[in-house]
Copies of this chain bind each other. A is one copy, B any other.
């Protein structure tokens, strides 16, 4: 038997991701966690405090692992610019592995995160900036060094596209399997990492072309 706080976090993660934050009541959570109605307010202060704890539990270790992989590359290569694919892999691999790890509530958590990323609510955005800001800046810096000839404006746009490709893949588990008629296996974490890194790297490396007219 897990402790009360963990039981609440597990239930909340699952329900927030599958029903959405607003559609999930504390009563739903407490019913699944087998705890009392007052337990959430006792342990987390409020429903807002609960979502903050749900996010921190996964994102803090995730970004530690990402930066560890990035540091490891840098240590190996000294002051040279890192190879693009290795930077992307340090960014992507920990997230994909987490999203496919059933022990970590994987796909549940990533879908929740995907929801929150398009949430205009300023309070949510503040939480996400606090959790991802520094890691994001570290990776953008590494990408800039790796692609010195790419103008900054193009780099930012491409990072944005890459974020979308990654986020959508992390969130979506069943649609691709359905659309592809079962050809694609959403549980093949290493295959996803390889394909996603290759796709993004190709887009990142593409020479900048002049705007063409229709």
Binding site for B on A (CB under 8 A): 17-23, 89, 111, 114-115, 117-121, 125, 136, 140, 152-154, 156-169, 171-172, 175-176, 179-180, 183-184, 190-192, 194-196, 198-203, 205-206, 209, 211-212, 214
Contact = CB atoms under 8 A, between A and B. Distances in A.
Per CB-CB distance, the 10 closest pairs between chain A and chain B, nearest first, are: A164-B168, A202-B206, A199-B203, A156-B180, A22-B23, A161-B165, A22-B22, A164-B165, A164-B164, A202-B202
A179 B120 CA distance: 15
Contacts of A192: 157
Contacts of A211: 190-191, 194
Contact of A183 (B152, B158, B168): B152
B156 A179 contact: yes
9 contacts: A22-B22, A89-B214, A153-B184, A156-B176, A156-B180, A157-B176, A157-B192, A160-B184, A164-B168
